[in-house]
Structures are given as structure tokens and as C-alpha cells.
């Protein structure tokens, strides 16, 4: 594991940015790792664990049509989760995930270990697809590590290009 949390903390604090998280497949693990850093209350607003589709729709604002068309484990749903968390918690940036940790639930099109991670900022939203293989716990750890790694990478680019989040 890397120390992505420390890198994220430094960049968010330096840029006076506030972070929100919407988790599904990681079940709060990303938020846990972020709040392991002393002083995280300065930049971390909070999170929603939107595990069920009902919570994704009612609380986060994911569109029923998007779920029906793409399924809960998809880039468009992850992006809507991140955008919804951004609005809900009034953050500058929001990280979201949706995936299949296993051991069941996979299909040939959407295998166990598949996760979509999204980042939404005030000006943009994007998602990435990752596939890992391992036990349920290993997959959750991999999902969280990938999410924090991508957020660190995204924020490092932001630090170089002010205003691009």
C-alpha cells in the first residue's frame, strides 16, 4: 500500500479544497483511510455509503434510467454518484466507487473484481474502470487503493493547473 492519503491531504489543504466520498463496493473503506490522517477534518466533509440502488437514487441522485441502461456497476453510474456527492455535501471534489467485490455477483460482462471509480469536480466528471482478482476483502482493498491512487494523481495535476478541478 502507498501513502496516498498523506499526498491527498497535503494537496487538499494547500488548495483549501473540500473532499466528499460516495462509496458502494468499498463500504466505507476509502473514508476510513482518509480519516486515518490526523487533521482530515480540515478537508474531508464526509461520505455516503450508497450500497443499495435505492440509496443511490433517493439520496445521491443517480437517475433510474442510467441504472436501467448501464447497471449499477458502470462508469455512468459512478459519475452520477460522484456528481451527486459533490452537490449533496457541497464539496470541491468527490470520489465515488461502484463494483463487484465478490465472491458472487459477477457475470462474463461484469466479472468479480470489476470496479468503476469516478471523480467529480466543479468543472468536470470522469470515471475509470479497473478489474482486480482476489478475495472479497482483497478486492475491496484494491478498489480503495486504486481510488485513492487516482485521486492523488488527479489532485497532483490540479496542483499544477490551478482551477482545473
Q: Which CATH superfamily is domain 4-160 in?
A: CinA-like (3.90.950.20)
For the chain, 165 residues long, give each residue's pLDDT as a single digit of tens: 579 999 999 999 999 999 999 999 999 999 999 999 999 999 999 999 999 999 999 999 999 999 999 999 999 999 999 999 999 999 999 999 999 999 999 999 999 999 999 999 988 899 999 999 999 999 999 999 999 999 999 999 876 444 445
Q: What is the pLDDT of residue 165?
A: 53
Query: Under a CB-based contact definition with an 8 Å cutoff, are residues 159 and 7 in contact?
Result: no
- Phi, psi (degrees; rounded to nearest 5) at 112: -55, 135
Q: What is the pTM of this model?
A: 0.95
Amino acid at each position: 500500500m502507498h501513502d496516498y492519503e498523506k499526498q491527498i491531504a497535503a494537496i487538499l489543504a494547500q488548495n483549501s479544497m473540500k473532499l466528499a466520498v460516495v462509496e458502494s463496493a468499498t463500504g466505507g473503506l476509502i473514508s476510513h483511510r482518509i480519516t486515518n490522517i490526523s487533521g482530515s477534518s480540515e478537508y474531508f466533509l464526509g461520505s455516503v455509503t450508497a450500497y443499495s440502488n435505492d440509496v443511490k437514487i433517493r439520496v445521491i441522485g443517480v437517475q433510474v434510467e442510467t441504472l436501467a441502461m448501464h447497471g449499477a456497476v458502470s462508469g455512468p453510474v459512478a459519475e452520477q454518484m460522484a456528481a451527486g456527492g459533490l452537490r449533496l455535501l457541497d464539496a470541491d471534489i468527490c470520489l465515488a466507487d461502484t463494483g463487484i467485490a465478490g465472491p458472487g455477483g459477477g457475470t462474463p460482462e461484469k466479472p468479480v473484481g470489476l470496479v468503476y471509480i469516478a471523480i467529480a469536480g466543479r468543472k468536470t466528471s470522469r470515471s475509470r474502470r479497473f478489474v482486480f482478482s482476489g478475495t472479497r476483502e482483497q478486492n475491496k482493498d484494491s478498489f480503495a487503493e486504486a481510488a485513492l491512487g487516482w485521486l492523488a494523481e488527479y489532485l497532483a495535476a490540479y496542483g499544477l493547473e490551478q482551477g482545473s478541478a
